[in-house]
């Protein structure tokens, strides 16, 4: 029983990464209708950015949390302006192919320069160590990851679903021409939204750096899972992505305990089942 509590908590921690990553994807898909396959690469770039800041500029973890999303987000904006914006009128598939290709190129370049074993990044001193909860030893850093992820996820949800800015965004997706007629600069808003989604990926990357190795392939392994999370949650549903992210983290954690061999397939099994019964995903609307 004690062990089970531990596994639930671990699942929640991994879930917070899934939630943060799938949130970025859901924002980009829900508001821009782009299936952003570079998301994993951007998560990886976030982690690398933190590594560079620490090792080349002596800038620590806390500043990296702020700087990396801005830098990687800017790269995202550049990609959106120069490439993606040309594809909006075409089928989703073109955006998917473009971003997928970009992801392979980015990952290839990083792997070529930094190898596959990854680079070390230590946990910041303030968050080192852990507390004994009785049923498990909880590293303070992991606790921080859950809290930070919850804050980020729910503030994003709040901004998009509950504020005026969010309502502009949603309106712009439904009918860009009309919103533009009200004097809102829709292309700029879309660009910034894309940049924000990418920034979320980079933020997750910085938070992942002290736990995993900073590795050129860290995003490639994760992106498929995260896509499954988004599909299960319902493409484009913000709350769906958040809840499914945490939920599937827990499902995966429990699988690691009861039947570890299946732990990297269980999410796809869930995906198949959900798609059979609810093709639009758990929280998605049929269009």
Residues that bind other proteins (CB under 8 A): 2-3, 6-7, 10-11, 13-14, 111, 113, 115-120, 122-123, 129-130, 136-137, 139, 141-142, 211-213, 215, 217-218, 221-222, 253, 256-257, 260-261, 263-265
Q: Which is nearer to other proteins, 3 or 90 (CB)?
A: 3
We find the least distance from the C-beta atom of residue 149 to other proteins, in angstroms, to be 14
Radius of gyration of the chain (CA): 19
User: Whole-angstrom Cα distance, residue 22 to residue 233?
Assistant: 9
- Pair 29, 162: CB distance under 8 Å: no
Q: Which is nearer to other proteins, 100 or 212 (CB)?
A: 212
We find the least distance from the C-beta atom of residue 229 to other proteins, in angstroms, to be 14
We find the least distance from the C-beta atom of residue 86 to other proteins, in angstroms, to be 30
Which residue pairs, CB below 8 angstroms and at least 24 apart, start in 51-58? 51/119, 51/121, 51/209, 51/214, 54/121
- Would you state the torsion angle of the CA atoms of residues 65, 67, 68, 70, taken in this order, to the nearest 10 degrees? 120
Q: Which is nearer to other proteins, 38 or 191 (CB)?
A: 38
We find the least distance from the C-beta atom of residue 223 to other proteins, in angstroms, to be 12
Token reading at 37: 């396959």
We find the least distance from the C-beta atom of residue 82 to other proteins, in angstroms, to be 27
Q: Which is nearer to other proteins, 88 or 257 (CB)?
A: 257
We find the least distance from the C-beta atom of residue 137 to other proteins, in angstroms, to be 5
User: Whole-angstrom Cα distance, residue 48 to residue 113?
Assistant: 12
Beta strands in the chain (DSSP E): 130-132, 137-139
Token reading at 36: 């952003």
Q: Which is nearer to other proteins, 139 or 195 (CB)?
A: 139
Q: Which is nearer to other proteins, 17 or 157 (CB)?
A: 17
Containing 182, the helix (H) or strand (E) segment is none
In degrees and rounded to multiples of 5, residue 215 shows phi and psi of: -130, 135
């Amino acid at each position: 029983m004690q062990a089970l509590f531990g596994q639930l908590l671990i699942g929640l921690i991994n879930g917070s990464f899934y939630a943060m990553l799938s949130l970025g994807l859901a924002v980009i898909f829900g508001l821009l209708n782009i299936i952003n396959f570079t998301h994993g690469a951007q998560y990886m770039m976030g982690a690398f950015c933190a590594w560079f800041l620490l090792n080349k500029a002596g800038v620590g973890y806390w500043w990296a949390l702020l700087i990396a999303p801005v830098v990687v987000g800017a790269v995202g904006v550049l990609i959106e302006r120069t490439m993606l914006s040309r594809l909006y009128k075409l089928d989703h598939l073109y955006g998917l192919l473009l971003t997928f290709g970009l992801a392979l190129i980015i990952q290839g370049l990083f792997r070529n320069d930094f190898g596959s074993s990854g680079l070390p990044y230590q946990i910041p001193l303030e968050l080192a160590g852990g507390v004994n909860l009785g049923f498990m030893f909880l590293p303070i850093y992991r606790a921080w990851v859950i809290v930070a992820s919850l804050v980020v996820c729910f503030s994003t949800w709040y901004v998009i679903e509950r504020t005026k800015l969010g309502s502009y965004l949603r309106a712009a997706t439904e009918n860009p021409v009309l919103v533009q007629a009200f004097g809102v600069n829709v292309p700029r808003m879309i660009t910034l939204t894309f940049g924000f989604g990418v920034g979320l990926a980079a933020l997750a990357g910085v938070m992942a750096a002290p736990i995993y190795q900073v590795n050129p392939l860290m995003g490639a392994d994760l992106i498929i899972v995260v896509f499954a999370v988004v599909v299960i949650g319902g493409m484009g549903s913000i709350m769906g992505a958040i809840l499914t992210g945490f939920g599937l983290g827990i499902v995966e954690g429990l699988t690691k305990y009861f039947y570890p061999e299946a732990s990297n397939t269980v999410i796809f099994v869930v995906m198949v089942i959900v798609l059979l019964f609810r093709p639009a995903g758990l929280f998605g609307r049929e269009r």
